[in-house]
Amino acid sequence: MQIGFIGLGIMGRPMAGHLIAAGHALFVFGGRTVPPEIREKATVCRTIKEVAEKSEVIILMVPDTPDVEAVLFGPDGVAAGLSKGKTVIDMSSISPIATKAFAKKINELGCDYLDAPVSGGEVGAKAASLTIMVGGPEQVFARIKPIFEKMGKNITLVGGNGDGQTTKVANQIIVALTIEAVGEALLFASKAGADPAKVRAALMGGFASSRILEVHGERMIKRNFQPGFRIELHQKDLNLALEGAKSLRLSLPNTATAQELFNAAAANGGAASDHSAMVRVLEALAAHEIGSAAGK
């Protein structure tokens, strides 16, 4: 299949690589910023419009709602290069409300639209094991699912357009609150004088076990905060949650607390750090770093 891929960042690069490896013809945009391993095997187009013109399916993987809107509807954007029967797939994490509006505009051009945000971070993108949460028509999902299967493992059609993004927001609430819980638990253990690495290993065999305890608990102990998913992106996702909650007249108190911890981390220079670095704020409040000597 001829696939356009726009957004070759930390996540998009390996995702696009899997599609190339599967034999799809890939069309990309970005000039010199296209990674060499992609440039060698894909066709680099001069404009986003040209990507859409040459592709049957166009995938977006960009940071935020305004980026998706600009890529879709800006001058020489995707919409300008669409013809009837093509499919647009937004795999970014953006506003569910905006997604419904974008889908409507693309549908009016005679094209299909799926919102399909992902979870799994850089590790999942590289391993082609992403969780993909899809919103859109069932027949379109069935046709596109073989493409998703090249990038992910847990692939679910949740409902109509916007429902995929709603699911991703729910996912990010759970992830943020679990990072906070793991940080508090390991900080408590360390301050009490226990070895946090051994505490984590013990907890991994019990009811408190989670993927976040496994991956981000290890990051906290080893002090590895190189970004798999940046704090500034998680801030964006929790903003979507809190804005949505306000419109629904819903209180999300712990989500708000997690956002304040991310805000504090960003204010202290950590916006580009991995979201597990939220623990640094908890450590600052306790005047104690996980792994340091007990009582200090």
Active site residue 153: no
Q: How many CB atoms lie within 10 A of CB 31?
A: 10
Cα-to-chain-centroid distance, residue 239: 14
Q: Is the dihedral of CA 74, 145, 130, 19 positive or negative?
A: negative
Separation CA 83–CA 130 (nearest Å): 30
Residues 6+ apart with CB under 8 A from 108: none
Q: Active-site residue among 168, 236, 246, 296?
A: 168
Give φ, ψ of 75 to 5 degrees: -55, 135
Sign, CA dihedral 191-194-200-202, equals negative
- For the chain, how many helices (H) and strands (E)? 14, 9
E strand intervals along 122-267: 130-135, 152-159
Closest CA to 226 of 187, 287, 276, 265: 276
Q: What residues are annotated to the active site? A: 168
